[in-house]
Structure 1
């Protein structure tokens, strides 16, 4: 997994002469248990004590297949971090920033939770299901907040 602080190593790099870290993730949603609206899942990473959307670096095989690798990586990271099985939806924003001195590009998709259950793990010790407004307030990084609006827009046009 990678996050705001990133990780070093070759995994996620696009090539020997390129220092770009490629990652993928999802804004996972479900219908609210109350029947009113939707909820989004946020993950808490104990290493950074932050709240974000599930995401992580592409493996070498995912990075080698640009047509489907990012989608596979996004679903894999959601499953690893949250235990959720999801149906991938519309592509959302691509975030670019510097983490640990390296440029990072994270592609996001909307993803509807279809099943599974969270088990705390080394990378993620808690998940929260929150309304879009509560998720926007809880996210640790300003750059993640526009993803909430991107998801809502994608769901309105679906």
Structure 2
């Protein structure tokens, strides 16, 4: 599907988190996309007539194999991707179960401490989402 020039590409995703099964500490899931050789949060383009939250939950499950319970909305991220404006809506989401299997979009996932996730993320805009999640969870 081609988009008219100047139209914003809409996408959605989640900052997926859990309590470690080993020590109960907070862990954040990052995905590795071989096409871009980057580490990011699970996200993807919305399908026609799909709501951002539904798209975010679908993308998390497709990319990580994990189901999740959505929480608070996180900041919307806006940037240029291949010369086109992109807008990604994000939610905090707690993992509720599932199992990762490599696929064509994501070949690896990592569950990392917030500090390690912050350092592993490729783009500063994704690092800001870790900060937003921590602020949200500490306020709760």
Q: What TM bracket, shorter-length normalisation?
A: over 0.9
For 1:91, the equivalent position in structure 2 comes to 73
Shift of 1:100: 1.2
Shift of 1:61: 1.8
Q: Report the count of equivalent residues.
A: 140
The within-5 A match list for 1:5-154 is 9-10=1-2, 19-62=7-50, 69-154=51-136
Where do 4+ consecutive residues of structure 1 move more than 4 Å? none
- Cα deviation code 1:62-91 (max 9, x no counterpart): 1xxxxxx00000000000000000000000
Shift of 1:36: 4.2
Alignment RMSD = 1.4
Shift of 1:125: 0.2
User: Do residues 155 (structure 1) and 137 (structure 2) align?
Assistant: yes
- For structure 2, the residue ranges without an aligned partner over 5 or more in a row are none
Q: Structure 1 length normalisation: TM-score?
A: 0.84
Q: Structure 2 length normalisation: TM-score?
A: 0.95
Alpha-carbon distance between aligned partners in 2 of 1:17 and 1:143, rounded to the nearest angstrom? 24
Shift of 1:35: 2.6
